Amino acid sequence: MQRVFSTKVLRSDLEERLAELGVYTRWREEGPMPREFLLEEMAKADALITGGLRIDETLLSQAKALRVVSTTSVGYDHFDIAAMRRHGVVGTHTPGVLDDTVADLAMALVLATARRIVELDGWVRQGRWTKGFDESLFGVDVHHRTMGILGMGRIGEAVARRAHYGFGMNVLYHSRSRHPHAEASVHAVYASFDELLRQSDFVVLLTPLTPATIGLMNRDAFAKMKPSAIFINVSRGKTVVEEDLFQALQSGQIRAAGLDVFVTEPTPTDNPLLSLPNVVASPHIGSATQATRDDMDRLAVDNLIAVLEGRFEDARIVPELQDLVKEL
């Protein structure tokens, strides 16, 4: 008999599958789950399913029976990999099933910032559309411009396809390694980080949050971009130094930004970035369609069951912990 604990509500058919393993628990009362309840459940759980709970030494030291943490996201920067390794806890995630949905959101931010959709929506609603429309309200073209993708992974390639086939854009990319498939399929051209920033009309950030990418987009990076360029962040908020982005936007060093993610989430309404008309903000909704969230939850449940049943090859184990299963 296995005990599965969830920090989030799942669809009833998924909860039934987890209940069939033995005991399935989650917080069912009104209001937020108290920390004491979490720690009590963690002390008994064999498996945890979660959306973004920080899995660190404090939590793992309470969780003596825990064998697997299954996150319902592709990003797993909430996993303390070293601590999970020490405790022999496998981590799984949900790559692949959300790529097109997140790529659609990236393109929505590209279009919204370039054509000033949100700003001009406000202009219409405020009754300011009284006569003609002067050039101070014009936007910039997206089609046939250059898009630079930082992080040509699964989602990066889905964005590149849209840019190339949908908008006739030139695609530059920068990653830790070359991606021959993207180079062949969408004629994406590899560039150094600096070269990509210098040449791109749209810089789309799609790296994971890691020690190497924290604050990747900072004052120096924004200074390398064209004054006409637009920055889009769909990765994680901490890949950007928000104060530096604010300065770059306010001073006209770059033209606009589309942001789905923020350093603090939910971001406070007094975040200076939200005071700028050339910022389009969305509340971390990259994968937030019903169909895709259902697919992610289903994959997370499949992953969890596969690990508990010892079918490690069927589970999407995060790359840094894949060797752990050999020791289990």
Q: How far apart are CA 261 and CA 235, in angstroms?
A: 7
284 is catalytic: yes
Shorter beta-carbon distance to ligand NAP: residue 221 or 307: 221
Stretch of 25-33, 63-71, 95-103, 219-227 lying at the interface with ligand NAP (CB under 6 A): 95-103
258 binds ligand NAP (CB under 6 A): no
Shorter beta-carbon distance to ligand NAP: residue 3 or 78: 78
Contact 76, 318 (CB under 8 A): yes
Which tokens is 242 given? 């928000």
175 binds ligand NAP (CB under 6 A): yes
Which tokens is 84 given? 């999970």
302 binds ligand NAP (CB under 6 A): no
Q: How far apart are CA 109 and CA 164, in angstroms?
A: 16
By beta carbon distance, the residue nearest ligand NAP is 153
By rule CB under 6 A, what string of x and - marks binding of each residue 23-62 to ligand NAP? Answer: ----------------------------------------
Contact 204, 150 (CB under 8 A): yes
98 binds ligand NAP (CB under 6 A): yes
236 is catalytic: yes
265 is catalytic: yes
Residues in region 199-218 near ligand NAP by CB under 6 A: 206-210, 212-213
Q: Are strands 170-174 and 189-190 parallel, antiparallel or unpaired?
A: parallel
Does a cis peptide bond (omega within 30 degrees of 0) precede residue 266? yes
Catalytic residue among 236, 255, 298, 316: 236
Catalytic residue among 20, 57, 265, 309: 265
Strands (E), the chain: 2-6, 22-26, 47-50, 68-71, 90-92, 146-150, 170-174, 189-190, 202-205, 230-233, 256-259, 279-281
Which residues, other chains included, contact 50 with Cβ-Cβ below 8 Å and sequence gap of 6+?
A: 6, 7, 8, 69, 70, 71, 72
Query: What minimum distance in Å lies between the beta carbon of 126 and ligand NAP?
Result: 30
Q: Which residues in this chain contact ligand NAP in the complex, by CB under 6 A? A: 74-75, 95, 98, 102, 151-156, 174-177, 206-210, 212-213, 234-236, 260-261, 284, 286-287
